[in-house]
Amino acid sequence: MKKIFTVFCILFVLPLGLFGCSSNSNNSGSHTSTNTQSAKSNSASTSEASSNTSSSKRAVKVRYEKMNLTTTLDHEYREEHLYKYVPGTVDQNKTYSWDNLNVSAKTKVYVDKKAVATFKDNDDNEYEHEEFYRIKLGSRQSNQQYWVNDDVLQNDHEDDYDD
């Protein structure tokens, strides 16, 4: 009985399944090309918006702390971004360019707030923490404030050697 059922499946069900897949694949091909064309037109319009906004994964929790710190920018500060809001707290976060700010690694930076954002890693379901600082460039009275990653600020102990 098992042999008859197996032969039936191989001779009738398998070809029927293959025929059904091949007829659907022809129809889905025409839909795919239409979707690809619309995706290309959408990507052209969104590339302009992505230059000054950033969407990243959502923070699970953000903890804020008041600070009163004066430091300088790290020598590799240009590798990081400036943000209007703490990354992960809003859907579309505006990013700023360092080019328009006329700063160097020796520019004084005033830090008035720290944010520790907690993100959930989807690969291993563990929580990761990232630190961001709200800075003012030039003077304490500057109106423009930016959120930056902790890599932007000069760490006073990074040149120390371990004994």
**36-45 pLDDT, tens per residue?**
333 333 333 2
Q: What is the mean pLDDT of residues 73-96?
A: 92
What pLDDT shows up at residue 25?
44
Query: Would you give the DSSP letter of residue 62?
Result: E
Query: What is the per-residue pLDDT for 14?
Result: 54
Section 21-27 average pLDDT? 46
User: Looking at residue 96, what is its pLDDT?
Assistant: 92
pLDDT recorded at residue 38: 36
pTM: 0.60
User: In angstroms, rounded to a whole number, what is the distance separating the alpha carbons of residues 80 and 111?
Assistant: 17
pLDDT higher than 60, residue 140: yes
How much of the chain, in percent, has pLDDT values that exceed 90?
Answer: 37
Neighbours of 100 (CB within 10 A): 8
Between CA 136 and CA 147 the distance in angstroms is 9
| Strand (E) or helix (H) holding 134 | strand 127-137
CA distance 118 to 130: 7
